[in-house]
Structure 1
């Protein structure tokens, strides 16, 4: 058997083995998840695992057993996957090229404004249906509970020096221009004598389940967090694309070998 066939067969055997824990993890999430957020990823994970299983089996059998039509299907799926990943990577870079936190004088954290981010991302988080689900996940993840516990003993000057994450700064505390009175990291008293044009000031409540989860700054903080993660994903995608192109090229060699071998056995 040709070298290219062996390489394709080995890679797909490893992929098949790798897909088994992915499917198991998806099934475990669907059974053990207590909230909507915990169950959110179960179906995509199961679909991804099954997809990898089917494609890797097609590639393994096609390369090692000289089944040309299976290897052709495998190469077609690989080609479509490469096209999709290229399009996705370009899309990610296009929608994450805008937006950044605003540096505040004398503060260790930044503040985030929704209007600074791409229109496509703004539309996603401004959808009431989408945001209610996201807000529920943020509350379940205890991002603000952990924030409160971590900085509970800070005085106001100490708190201002903290390097807060985008989610902490946007969702767990009111905007600085509201000029509220600091009590603790998640408790701020509203100052009725100070008026602000920022709608987030009216949205803020010291209730642990409200805080600034209804604020534009919280949506902006989420987008900044997504922007950072998506850019990292795009870089990983580029590396993965190079790998896929190499595998696809080797697969094409294996396909040619299959055709030659099949023609030889027909003679």
Structure 2
């Protein structure tokens, strides 16, 4: 076996093994309580891991057994996978570049404005049809109730770095002037503002601020954080796959040369 074939086989075996924790991470991400209502980033991670597993297995067999046919299929699939990752990376950077967060005086967490995010995210996540499903999911999830279990005082709550989703959906906006009782129970101000989000707030556990623009913006803030983390993984994956692809091209060339030599030796050509 040529050196390039050995290297390709070893690299693809490592990619095969690494795809298993990628799939596990995707399943874990999909089952996280905080993100159970956010679906844009959940299953693509599992699909990516599955594609890596399948393509690396084809590359390993092709390189180890010196099969030009397997290597040709592998190179074609790898090129498509690299192209897919590059497109996904560009989209991820484009839609997560705007940041709708702004600081809240006297607290560790931030609040979020809906118009601070890309129009693509707003249209695909917070449209009326999509939001009804998300809102229903949030109302029965543990995203907000667990804040009541975590924080027993106002000092603890305002010093905590809660998620964008919790900041936008589980409490009224700071500008409304509500008085803290628990993370999900607030006393109405004497002079309420006309801000629609302030009027939408309710201490009912099934309502809270789930219909607020701030809640939708908090969801986009969660998505932005997740995509930003995914971007780092995608960059590493693209660099590694391009390197493996170049080595595999050399292995494919060696397999073709060896195949021609064998056929010539036996008088088949």
Give the shorter-chain TM-score range: 0.7 to 0.9
Q: Which residue of 2 aligns with 1:184?
A: 182
Distance 1:229 1:206 in 2: 29
Please say if 1:116 is aligned against 2:116.
yes
Which residue matches 2:193? 196
Superposition map of 1:184-263 within 5 A: 184-191=182-189, 193-263=190-260
Hey, what's the Cα distance between the residues in 2 that align with 1:101 and 1:43? 26
- Superposed counterparts of 1:98-117, under 5 Å: 98-117=98-117
Moved segments of 4+, more than 6 Å? 20-30, 40-43
Q: Structure 1 unaligned runs (5+)?
A: none
CA distance, structure 1, for counterparts of residue 27 and residue 102 of structure 2: 42
- Residues 241 and 105 (structure 1 numbering): CA distance in 2 closer, same or farther, change over 3 Å? same
Partners of 2:157 and 2:52 in 1: CA distance:
48
CA distance in 2, matches of 1:56, 1:8: 10
Of 91-100 and 72-81, deviating more is 91-100
User: Normalization by structure 1: what TM-score?
Assistant: 0.82
Post-superposition offset of 1:199:
1.4
Paired residue total:
259
* Inter-CA distance 234–78: structure 2 relative to 1 (3 Å threshold): same
Task: Find the aligned partners of 2:142 and 2:53 in 1 and give their Cα distance.
Answer: 35
Q: Deviations over 1:83-135 (max 9, x none)?
A: 12112212211111112421233333322111111111111222233223333
Cα distance change on mapping 1:140 and 1:244 into 2, 3 Å = farther
After superposition, the C-alpha distances for 1:217-266 in whole angstroms (9 at most, x for unaligned) are 11111211221221121122111111111100110000000110011011
* Superposed displacement of residue 194, structure 1: 2.6
Partner Cα distance (2:157, 2:29) in 1: 37
TM-score norm. by structure 2 comes to 0.82
Shift of 1:45: 6.8
Supply the distance in 1 between the matched residues of 2:90 and 2:259 (Cα, whole angstroms): 40
- Aligned CA RMSD, in angstroms, stands at 3.2
Secondary structure of the structure 2 residue equivalent to 1:143? coil
Which has the larger displacement, 115-124 or 62-71? Answer: 62-71
Is the counterpart of residue 11 in structure 1 residue 8 in structure 2? no
Per-residue deviation, residues 16-57 of structure 1 (Å, max 9, x unmatched): 455567779999999x9xxxx59x799767755553443233
Aligned partners of 2:19 and 2:49 also within 8 Å: yes
1:178–1:194 contact (8 Å) kept in structure 2: no
Gaps of 5+ in 2: 265-269
Distance (Å, rounded) in 1 between the aligned partners of 2:106 and 2:44: 44
C-alpha distance in 1 between matches for 2:29 and 2:107: 40
